[in-house]
Amino acid sequence: MLEMFGHKKQPTVTLSNGVEMPLLGFGTWQSNDEAGKEAVKEAVRAGYRLIDTASIYENEGMIGQALQELYDEGVVKREDIFITTKLWIEKAHPDKHLAAIENALQLLGTSYVDLFLMHMPPLMHDDLAIEDVWQGIERLYDLGLTRAIGVSNCSFKQMERIRKIAKTPIHNTQNECHVYFPCHDLQAYCKLHNISLTSYATLGSANREAFQMFKWVKGNPSPLANPTVQLIAERHGKSPAQVLLRYMLERGIATIPKASTPQRIRENIDILDFHLSTEEVKKLGSLKEHIRYFVFQEFKDHPEYPFHQCGAARQAIDAMNGY
């Protein structure tokens, strides 16, 4: 479905509860300074209407300030912006959910968010099941503090466990997804159960090693440098990043690229004037590389660790451990 945002037509997806979500959003991970604030403002002026954040990013306050300045300037209204934020695992216990979202709302300067996600399964709690976390998030939805709810970094089995006990269905799942990890099976599951899918790390997440909370696999190739991606980009007169982002839109998957310079911010949204052919989409979805950048190996022994069935995750963990 297409919706008018300013002078641009931005593709959107209608969630199972009728809420409309833009398919092209602006990511803000590792962006929590004055430059990040200006980047958010530049992104909205360029036409982005989905802003993705999380409590662990420590930038909800900065984003709230940027958006308020845009509201005051008359650039957009609150109802024009789709805000996604996430519940971090330290706050996974349902007793902490209300305080967590109220803190996020205060920082963001709003009475509601558009999408509230379980950022990860409850990997810091040995006595907490993923069903418990979901039921707590459902209560926030019932209170009207978020227009939609979902999960992130969860496995098929975990999503199915939630689906079986849910009063409110999963509206969205956010997962690593890119040409080296195309998530065809996950997308098929989401289509079967009317769950929208959002891709993160669509461009490869080159700066993840600067985030000190986790250990990372180093030296993985970037999809931006893939010869097939570069050839398709040259054919269309676009950049490799634009091809990777367009690939997700062709599949109906939302994507939330981060950029810091005005040129990159505007380049990433300038993908609505071309299409990839069916053959190009097929080629991009069947590259020989199979890489998962985010494996969260610190939690691999937790019973709710989500990636045991993921071959790319096992390979990455083995590489970390020197196998």
Q: Which residues are known catalytic residues?
A: 57
C-alpha closest to that of 284 among 245, 236, 323, 239: 245
Query: 11, 7, 1: which is closest to 271 by C-alpha?
Result: 11
Three-state DSSP class for 237? coil
Phi, psi of 74 (to 5 degrees): 80, 15
How many beta carbons lie within 10 A of that of residue 73, not counting itself?
10
In the DSSP assignment, the letter for residue 220 is P
Q: At a CB cut-off of 8 Å and minimum separation 6, what does 177 contact?
A: 183, 186, 197, 199, 200, 201, 202, 248, 253
Token pair for 309: 């069935």
Is residue 234 within 8 Å of 179, Cβ to Cβ? no
| Rounded distance between C-alpha atoms, residue 59 and residue 244, angstroms | 26
CA distance 264 to 69: 22
- Residue 119 annotated in ligand binding: yes
Q: How far apart are CA 28 and CA 223, in angstroms?
A: 20
Taken as a whole, the chain contains a residue count of 323
What residues form the annotated binding site for substrate?
119
